Homo-oligomer: A and B are copies of this chain.
Amino acid sequence: MKLKGTKIVLNSIPAGIPKKDDFRLKEFEVNEPVDGQFLAETIYLALDPYVRVTMVGRHFFSTPKEGEVPRGSTISRVIKSRNSNFNEGDLVVMESGMQSHSISDGKEVHFVKTGSAPVTTALGILGMPGFTAYSALLGPAKLKKDDLVLVSAASGAVGSMVGQIASIYNARVIGIAGGEEKCEWAMNNASLDACIDRKKDDIDQKLTELSQNGVDIFFDNTGGDIQNIVLSKHLALNSRVILSGMISQYNSNKPPSGPNLGNICKQRATIYGFVVYDFEHMRESFVKDAVDWYEKGLLNYTEDLVFGIEKTPAHFIKLMKGENFGKTIVQFMDL
């Protein structure tokens, strides 16, 4: 008799902010791995904003159809292997998506390497979000001492690592976050020198006060109005803009217009459409540096973790409404 698994499938492609009705829970029969494959069970599922983008076909990852399983990074345990690189019991980070079991050929699968840090950090500060901050800052953004760095969604999984890494490199960091609580957390934990509350402050005016000559690096996780204001008026000469995420528009089917690019010429700025998957060559140095920083007590993080696969849709909706706080994770089973 075949093993039974559980998965979340799309009832319909969400319009606007996803609703619970857009998802349903479904049982399925788990297949056996064939030669070269392994079977893994999901322990932790990370919920990340890019998953919403795939649902409307604006991501380079494939678009899930109705009845299919949405994507998602997971910490999984190998339970049966016919691939000589993976053994039963191995903990790996992979893209299993919103399901209890999945089969892989081992491509783009990484072993969990978190040193003395908790396993879930492999989905956060020591995983894809941390690696995104690291490879963008030290790669195209050319982070250097005394740079003025501006990061949007500064309390988020990526944003809070941007602040902390920039600070380790002795740059100054301004964050933008949504609400007093997130600003306070980011000031205390994400090494910010100042935080702008996008729900209360006039962003344009605050940036004028905080950065006379504009910012050297703008690490953008939100897009939208924040991006328009910064790109039009607050870039320093020869500044670097990292387009890492545009969560402000992930729920809309028709993206709004963007900033006029005249100021990009004037400031001789560069805008990078940044995708972490292009920076595999930096992964080894990232893991080494990040584990080292963690063990020296230099990295803070917070998690918003719930237990039970059935809680996945509600937790994802919370993330897409901006109501989450810290790295959004669903635990499917005990470690």
* Binary interface encoding of chain A residues 267-293 relative to chain B, with 1 for a CB under 8 A from any of its CBs, else 0: 111111111001000000000000000
Of A59, A227, A269, A271, chain B has the most CB atoms within 10 Å of the CB of A271
A264-B271 in contact (CB<8A): yes
**Can you give 21 A-B contacts (C-beta < 8 A)?**
A58-B263, A58-B266, A60-B237, A60-B267, A60-B268, A140-B270, A227-B261, A228-B257, A243-B261, A246-B262, A249-B262, A256-B260, A257-B260, A258-B258, A259-B261, A261-B271, A264-B273, A268-B278, A269-B273, A270-B271, A270-B273
Is A297's CB within 8 Å of the partner chain B? no
* Binary interface encoding of chain A residues 96-119 relative to chain B, with 1 for a CB under 8 A from any of its CBs, else 0: 000000000000000000000000
- Bound-state CA distance A102–B257 (Å) is 45
Of A262, A263, A270, A273, chain B has the most CB atoms within 10 Å of the CB of A273
Given known pairs A264-B273, A274-B265, A278-B268, the reply for A258 and B255 (CB within 8 Å) is no
Q: Which B residue's beta carbon lies closest to that of A50? A: B265
A258-B256 in contact (CB<8A): no
Is A223's CB within 8 Å of the partner chain B? yes
Given known pairs A258-B259, A260-B249, A261-B246, the reply for A273 and B267 (CB within 8 Å) is yes
A243-B261, A255-B260 are known; give 11 further A-B pairs, CB within 8 A: A223-B261, A223-B262, A243-B264, A243-B265, A244-B265, A245-B265, A246-B261, A249-B262, A258-B259, A269-B273, A270-B270
Within 8 Å CB of A272, what residues of B?
A: 270
Shortest Cβ distance from A250 into chain B, in angstroms?
Answer: 9
Number of this chain's copies in the assembly equals 2
Within 8 Å CB of A245, what residues of B?
A: 265
Which residues of chain A in 44-79 are interfacial with respect to chain B, using CB atoms and an 8 Å cutoff? 58-60
Shortest Cβ distance from A133 into chain B, in angstroms?
Answer: 16
A265-B261 in contact (CB<8A): no
Within 8 Å CB of A243, what residues of B?
A: 261, 264-265
Partner of A275, one of B59, B268, B278: B268
Shortest Cβ distance from A134 into chain B, in angstroms?
Answer: 18
Q: Which B residue's beta carbon lies closest to that of A245? A: B265
Of A60, A255, A258, A278, chain B has the most CB atoms within 10 Å of the CB of A258
Within 8 Å CB of A227, what residues of B?
A: 261
Within 8 Å CB of A60, what residues of B?
A: 237, 266-268
Shortest Cβ distance from A234 into chain B, in angstroms?
Answer: 14
- Bound-state CA distance A261–B261 (Å) is 10
Within 8 Å CB of A140, what residues of B?
A: 270
Within 8 Å CB of A228, what residues of B?
A: 257
Shortest Cβ distance from A63 into chain B, in angstroms?
Answer: 12
B262-A58 in contact (CB<8A): yes
